[in-house]
Each structure stands twice: as C-alpha cells, then as structure tokens.
Amino acid sequence: MSETRAESAARQESGLFSKLVRSDLSRPTTLISGILLLVIAASATFAPLIAPTDPYDLATVSVLDGRLAPGEEMFDGTIAWLGTDGAGRDVLSAIIFGLRTSLTVAISSALIALIVGLAVGLTAAFYGGRIDAFLMRIVDIQLSFPAILVALVLLALLGKGVDKVIIALAIVQWALYARTVRAAAMVERRKEYFEAAICLELSNVRIIWKHLLPNSVSPLIVLATLQTAHSISIEATLSFLGVGVPITEPSLGSLISNGFDFILSGAYWITFFPGVMLLATVAAINVFGDQLRAMVNPRLSR
C-alpha cells in the first residue's frame, strides 16, 4: 500500500466530485437544482447589491406604497415586480434579505450541530462500553421526539431572536449527526490501521483527531446537505408561528407570516412569493442531496 488513507480518501472525494459533475449534466433535474442553489446562495450573499431597495432602510420605505400589486410602480419610481407588503416594503427585496437570514440560521445551526455531533459520536465510538451506551441513550431519547416540537418548546423557553433559533435548531439536530458519525466510526474501529494506531500507543486525542475523524466524516456531508433543507423549513415554520425570528429581522418564514394577515383581503403576493422562494430553496437542496446520496451509496440510486 503506497497510498495513505488520507490520500485515498481525497481521491475518493475528487472522484465523487467529477462523478457529480458528469451525472449532473446528464440529468436535467440535478442540473437545474444545482444552478438554482448557486443562484440562491449568490443572491443571499450579495443581498445588498442585488435587491432593488433596502427593506430595512426606514427612510426609503413609505407606507404610501403599501400593498401594491406585482408590477406596479412605487412612489419613487422603482417598479415592485412582486408587489409590496402592508408597510410598503418591496416584496422582492424583502425575499432576498429574508433568504439571507434563513440561510444564515440554517447553515450556522448545521455547523454547530455537526461539531457537537462529531464530538459526541466519536467519543462514543472510541471509548465504547458505558460511555457509548449512555450517550446513545440520550441520542435515542432526543430522536424519539419530532424536531419541530423540540424546537418549539426550546424557543418557548429561550424566547425570540436569531441567536436563540440557531441554538434551538442546533440542539434539535446534533443527535442525528452523533448517531451517523458513531455508526461510521464503529466500522473504522474494526479496521487494521486503527488497531495499528492503538498498538503504537498514540494518544487517544491523536487517534481520534488524526485517524477516526477524517475517515468517519464523509457520510456527514450528505446528511448535512439534507439537514440544511430541513432546518430552513423548521425555522420558517417557527417564525410563522411567531416564536422564531422577530419581524425586525425577517426570514422567509416571518415574511409569510406577515402576509397571512392580508390573505383574506386578496393581497396574495405578500405571502405567496416568499413561500415560492422557500419551496424552491428546500426542493433544490433536497434534490441535490438525494443525488449526492445516490453517488455515495450506489445501491440507493433507484
């Protein structure tokens, strides 16, 4: 074996990537979802540059522009392609900024959950025995409750705010990562290189950090992709219920919730378009993630 594990893992990764690119081009759904994801990520990142107006700038937002239908002209001459909401904010701009909040919450909570999950999962797999049984019992109990409910209760306890939602979503998700990492690490544990590392009497920290971690991390990539979609959805639901992100810093969910009040008066666009954006984002991530999973595990591809 001239190739080290890290190199072979890297080779696998690049293989995965080129496979992804090739199969992407052959399957229109994946191509579309990939492009859509890029566009979404770009517009969220460069929101202030792309959005026609700044929905947070109280100086330019005027109540006189309230509830304009899509395509109508606003007071200052800009055209509100997707209409305006009750306070006269341009819906399109609000969506672009809302996307930013939604993605920030989803991605940062996924990262926190990933790190905590990795630490717990690797600890459980490495030490085994009672520690493993105890940690996995907690994971089991946590996973037996639906995510939306746990998040709802946590936010009832923590209160509103972007940071609180991130914490709640991280707490909801860590167990799933922990279980997945543990399963992967348990397989690695039985391999020869691991035994060799134990025989060399390397320190525990080093074995976990240098050997167990790099080899157990790949199944998490797929999981993290799909979980991001899930947590965008949960965040939107929570904000809709009025326990998530406050209206001063709107996410897609709070925009939809904001439009709820205007539904009966026929101003559908305030709630319709943010929802379409939410659906497009979640669906694009799901389709992309499914493709990724099929590539990692070819048996599931059909």
Binding site for other proteins (CB under 8 A): 133, 137, 141, 144-146, 148-149, 152-153, 155-159, 229, 233, 236-237, 240-243, 256, 259-260, 263-264, 266, 268, 271-272, 275, 278-279, 282-283, 286-287, 290, 302
Please say which residue, 161 or 214, places its beta carbon nearer to other proteins: 161
Instruction: Find the shortest distance in angstroms from Cβ 18 to other proteins.
Output: 25
Please say which residue, 24 or 207, places its beta carbon nearer to other proteins: 24
Please say which residue, 41 or 148, places its beta carbon nearer to other proteins: 148
Please say which residue, 61 or 95, places its beta carbon nearer to other proteins: 95
Please say which residue, 59 or 264, places its beta carbon nearer to other proteins: 264
Instruction: Find the shortest distance in angstroms from Cβ 279 to other proteins.
Output: 6
Instruction: Find the shortest distance in angstroms from Cβ 224 to other proteins.
Output: 17
Instruction: Find the shortest distance in angstroms from Cβ 211 to other proteins.
Output: 26
Instruction: Find the shortest distance in angstroms from Cβ 274 to other proteins.
Output: 8
| Ramachandran region, residue 266 (left: φ > 0; alpha: ψ -120 to 50; beta: rest) | left
What are the Cα distances from residue 236, in Å, to 90, 261, 268? 20, 17, 18
Instruction: Find the shortest distance in angstroms from Cβ 197 to other proteins.
Output: 27
Instruction: Find the shortest distance in angstroms from Cβ 65 to other proteins.
Output: 23
Spatial separation of the C-alpha atoms in residues 213 and 70, rounded to whole Å: 51
Please say which residue, 38 or 241, places its beta carbon nearer to other proteins: 241
- Nearest CA among 260, 248, 233 for reference residue 151: 233
Please say which residue, 79 or 300, places its beta carbon nearer to other proteins: 300
Tokens found for residue 235 = 């965040």
- Nearest CA among 39, 60, 58, 61 for reference residue 50: 39
